[in-house]
Structure 1
Amino acid sequence: MRSDSATDNRLPTRWLALWLAALVALTPFSIDTYLPAIPAIAEALGSEVARVQHSLSSFLLGFAAGQLMGGPLSDRWGRRTVGTIGLIIFVFSTLLILWSKSVEQLIALRFSQALGGGFATVICTAIVRDLYSGREAARTLSTITTMMLLAPLVAPVIGSVLMVIGDWRWIFTFLLCYALAMLVLVRKLLPETLSPTTQARHRSAPKRHLLRNYAQVLRNRRALGFLGTQSFVSGSMFIYITTAPFVFMENFGVAAERFPLFFGAGILGLIVMMQLNIRLLKFFEPRQILLAGVGLQLLGCCLLLLNTLTGEPSLLRWMLPLLIVVACIGLTGPNAAACYLEFFPGISGSANALYGTSLFITGGILGGLVNGLHTGTLVPIAASMCACAVTALVLVLLVARAREPIEAGQPVHDSPRSR
């Protein structure tokens, strides 16, 4: 436990993970709830499914931009203030989405909505880093992520139910209500963990220090290795999320009401791996578990590509390796974040912003790229996932050097000789 963070007694510590998980869940709710409605949205707006799927990519890019701006501002203004601003932007953007008349408006407003979401959720990992470090931080992040993963598990079900009783706008009405609830949570329940001394120091610093913080992160080669590793590991998942409506509902002919069952299977595997990760952290360092998770995901991606290239795969032959690919993020996500943040104890908000930004920019670009390479088959999807896994393995071994110990706050120009 870190002692230099401000806490407020209104919230018992045991509830902190629950509130942070609820806030982080805004993102998967915003993405996964409307996945079953994409074909219906395309029909209602007079567009194609592939075109509507670009609203997923625009959301990911908007979320990345929101984190990039919100992180350093949370170091300067405090976690709760930035979270409040983000939720207000999210609420107003969602209201405008309810009145959108074209797919172009939807794509633009999803970017704006995600911008606010990035502001709101970037504070969560920064709060954890304010309070914890090392294994304790990784365990806390695993606990938060496990609870948060209930959102992508139930989100498609909520979306399907809302489509049965109403139309696609009901889904965004749900998101509007959820964001309002999170606004109450941030203002009334969430503690401010950034100490007044730290806030005063950041406020008195010239604004150019915001850029200096990012420069400090970008100069740390090992930290960027951990960041890049998780960006490409998560890239496989974002490709899966972006293309899931095509894969299941168009390619395999899964009915919209059954879509949540197949989509949620990967999330269940992720939850199992997350629980395993919490237990493994009692015996292994985060960097060691991260390395194993990357290797396991590469195995799943290779099997997925092999099954795709050796004939038209059945739904079962596609799902089994896909479960491995998605579930492995439960081993990599918390540990990559914990390893990366160990290098930046004094600027966790800025560092976390760049971390989250990289994940979502990578996801947005890869999702858009795979949509652009759409051939009506599964080959581009499987090949792209495999390429992501290979890149992640190279980064974790050669740049992050995950087999070597990490010294918290070590110099940015770290090298084997300097240790």
Structure 2
Amino acid sequence: MPPNFFDAEGKPPRWLAPCLAALVALTPFAIDTYLPAIPAMAAALGVEVAKVQHSVSSYLLGFAVGQLIGGPLSDRWGRIVTGTIGLAIFIASSALILFANTVELLVALRFCQALGGGFATVICGAIVRDLYHGRDAARIMSMIATMMLIAPMAAPAIGATLLTFGDWHAIFIFLLVYGLLMMVLVRGVLPETVSRFRRARRQRESRRSMLKGYAQIFRTPRALGFLFGQALISGSMFIYITTAPFVFMEHFGVSSATFPMLFGSCVLGLVLMVQLNIRLLKVFEPRQILLAGMGLQLLSCALLLASTLYFGKEQVLLAWMIPLVMAMGAIGIITPNSAACYLEFFPRISGTANALYGASLFIFGGVLGGAVNAVHTGTLVPIALGMLCCSAAALCMALFVARARQPIEIEERALRM
């Protein structure tokens, strides 16, 4: 890091959080901006809409793989080099998608695009862990989460606007330009937080040693409690996301114009709770707020299921929305604190740890969301029950595996890694 990077009090500058949030927002933009264009893309490629939707799944898979590979590489080569490689892959793939003329090529290029996106965004959590810890880390995670949540709200509108001025190619031109801007950010603004000594030491180690970081994580039971607890919370969110079109447009019969407002209300709840979390961190420890957030989500999911069973097929929209917004909002005080608690155990392999953390959210979320879709009964019961089970299991992981009631003590062995 440059010697003038820190301010007069020895703290990282305030502009770092919005810069990291802009980089993390790469993935929400890459996923959500082109969703309104999927029917047009299917028509242009001469295939069914379902086949183009496979490009969403390929992106989620590629992003998880990119994080798992990019995390250890960022510990070995440094944050900036890894981010640069990832953005180069993302930019090249975005450019090639403009010339895709088959759905198979589109799906393959979206996987490559996501691979680069995983490389690029995995460095953000690692940089936070390199520079902050404890309450400060949770506070910065909350600030990043607040700004990052704006991307999923704005992305569909951006995509729809671009479609009015051109065809689906305009959306990927936007992603190409955004990737170029992030390259300028990584190369010219973000600091390298892995010292030359640490990089040189890790580069002398064998490539197989990169996997030792993952082995260390799986040998740390308390950290796994926070990791899998958050993965289950992510599962409850993905259950909602994947079933939202059915819930609102089919079950409740709302129009496509009203759907974004109802969907966005949960995102607004998340943003408000993240802001509350920043203030709570001035008084409480992250692990204490985490338990309160999980308790709130469990209560909300229980109310959601009770409402579903009580009203049955005559479910009232307001009776569904109130506990749903509460459940989704609780994630705003769960996620930043679980990330901070988990990363606290791995100060020397924060890139690897953050990679597994990010990948697990998408893997668990995708699997659990797909599982609920697989048992679709035409009612809201599987959705509410699935969210309740995820929330209850997550609280059990935090209480009995992570032992979140106890202070976090980092082992000396971990510090030497």
Q: Provide TM-score, normalisation by structure 2.
A: 0.89
1:267 Cα deviation from its structure 2 partner: 1.3
2:77 is aligned with 1:68: no
* Aligned residue number for residue 326 of structure 2: 324
- Relative to structure 1, is the Cα distance of residues 139 and 301 closer, same or farther in structure 2, using a 3 angstrom cutoff? same
- Relative to structure 1, is the Cα distance of residues 232 and 408 closer, same or farther in structure 2, using a 3 angstrom cutoff? same
* Aligned residue number for residue 158 of structure 1: 158
* Aligned residue number for residue 349 of structure 1: 351
Unaligned runs of 5+ in 2: 8-12
1:380 Cα deviation from its structure 2 partner: 3.4
Q: Deviations over 1:214-259 (max 9, x none)?
A: 1011100000000001111111222323333444444444444444
- Relative to structure 1, is the Cα distance of residues 383 and 289 closer, same or farther in structure 2, using a 3 angstrom cutoff? same
1:153 Cα deviation from its structure 2 partner: 2.1
Q: Deviations over 1:286-307 (max 9, x none)?
A: 1111111111112222233333
Matching of residues 71-90 of structure 1 within 5 Å: 71-90=71-90
Amino acid at match of 1:311: G
1:390 Cα deviation from its structure 2 partner: 1.8
SS in structure 2 of the partner of residue 14 of structure 1: coil
* Aligned residue number for residue 269 of structure 1: 269
Q: Quick one: distance in 1 between partners of 2:321 and 2:45?
A: 31
Q: Quick one: distance in 2 between partners of 1:378 and 1:103?
A: 33
Do the aligned residues in 2 keep the contact of 1:226 with 1:400 (CA within 8 Å)?
yes
1:348 Cα deviation from its structure 2 partner: 0.9
Q: Quick one: distance in 1 between partners of 2:306 and 2:39?
A: 29
2:211 is aligned with 1:211: yes
* Aligned residue number for residue 137 of structure 1: 137
SS in structure 2 of the partner of residue 405 of structure 1: coil
Q: Quick one: distance in 1 between partners of 2:259 and 2:149?
A: 17
- Relative to structure 1, is the Cα distance of residues 253 and 162 closer, same or farther in structure 2, using a 3 angstrom cutoff? farther
SS in structure 2 of the partner of residue 328 of structure 1: helix
Further displaced range: 33-42 or 201-210: 33-42
* Aligned residue number for residue 10 of structure 2: none
SS in structure 1 of the partner of residue 14 of structure 2: helix
Q: Provide TM-score, normalisation by structure 1.
A: 0.89
Q: Quick one: distance in 2 between partners of 1:383 and 1:38?
A: 30
- Relative to structure 1, is the Cα distance of residues 332 and 315 closer, same or farther in structure 2, using a 3 angstrom cutoff? same
Amino acid at match of 1:174: F
- Relative to structure 1, is the Cα distance of residues 174 and 399 closer, same or farther in structure 2, using a 3 angstrom cutoff? same
Do the aligned residues in 2 keep the contact of 1:298 with 1:389 (CA within 8 Å)?
yes
1:118 Cα deviation from its structure 2 partner: 0.7
Q: Deviations over 1:159-213 (max 9, x none)?
A: 2323344344433332222112111111111111111111111111222210111
2:300 is aligned with 1:294: no
Q: Quick one: distance in 2 between partners of 1:67 and 1:216?
A: 17
* Aligned residue number for residue 195 of structure 1: 195
Further displaced range: 145-154 or 211-220: 145-154
SS in structure 2 of the partner of residue 191 of structure 1: coil
Q: Quick one: distance in 1 between partners of 2:308 and 2:102?
A: 35
Do the aligned residues in 2 keep the contact of 1:8 with 1:191 (CA within 8 Å)?
no
1:134 Cα deviation from its structure 2 partner: 0.9
Q: Quick one: distance in 2 between partners of 1:25 and 1:73?
A: 21
Further displaced range: 381-390 or 400-409: 381-390
Q: Deviations over 1:25-76 (max 9, x none)?
A: 1111122223344455555556666655443333222211111100110011
Do the aligned residues in 2 keep the contact of 1:11 with 1:190 (CA within 8 Å)?
no
- Relative to structure 1, is the Cα distance of residues 239 and 39 closer, same or farther in structure 2, using a 3 angstrom cutoff? farther
Do the aligned residues in 2 keep the contact of 1:11 with 1:191 (CA within 8 Å)?
no
Q: Quick one: distance in 2 between partners of 1:85 and 1:269?
A: 35
Q: Quick one: distance in 2 between partners of 1:25 and 1:335?
A: 19
Further displaced range: 132-141 or 97-106: 97-106
Count of residues paired in the alignment: 407
Aligned Cα root-mean-square deviation (Å): 2.4
- Relative to structure 1, is the Cα distance of residues 94 and 219 closer, same or farther in structure 2, using a 3 angstrom cutoff? same
- Relative to structure 1, is the Cα distance of residues 90 and 239 closer, same or farther in structure 2, using a 3 angstrom cutoff? farther
Amino acid at match of 2:241: I
- Relative to structure 1, is the Cα distance of residues 57 and 144 closer, same or farther in structure 2, using a 3 angstrom cutoff? same
Amino acid at match of 2:345: F
Q: Quick one: distance in 1 between partners of 2:246 and 2:236?
A: 16
Further displaced range: 14-23 or 319-328: 319-328
Further displaced range: 361-370 or 348-357: 361-370
Amino acid at match of 1:359: L
1:96 Cα deviation from its structure 2 partner: 3.3
- Relative to structure 1, is the Cα distance of residues 14 and 194 closer, same or farther in structure 2, using a 3 angstrom cutoff? same
* Aligned residue number for residue 415 of structure 1: none
Q: Quick one: distance in 1 between partners of 2:359 and 2:107?
A: 19
Q: Quick one: distance in 2 between partners of 1:241 and 1:177?
A: 28
Further displaced range: 284-293 or 231-240: 231-240
Q: Quick one: distance in 2 between partners of 1:51 and 1:371?
A: 18
SS in structure 2 of the partner of residue 129 of structure 1: helix
Q: Quick one: distance in 1 between partners of 2:110 and 2:317?
A: 31
Further displaced range: 197-206 or 94-103: 94-103
* Aligned residue number for residue 124 of structure 1: 124
> Identity of aligned pairs, percent?
65
1:158 Cα deviation from its structure 2 partner: 1.4
Do the aligned residues in 2 keep the contact of 1:344 with 1:351 (CA within 8 Å)?
yes
* Aligned residue number for residue 311 of structure 1: 312
Do the aligned residues in 2 keep the contact of 1:61 with 1:364 (CA within 8 Å)?
no
Unaligned runs of 5+ in 1: 1-5, 413-419
* Aligned residue number for residue 241 of structure 1: 241
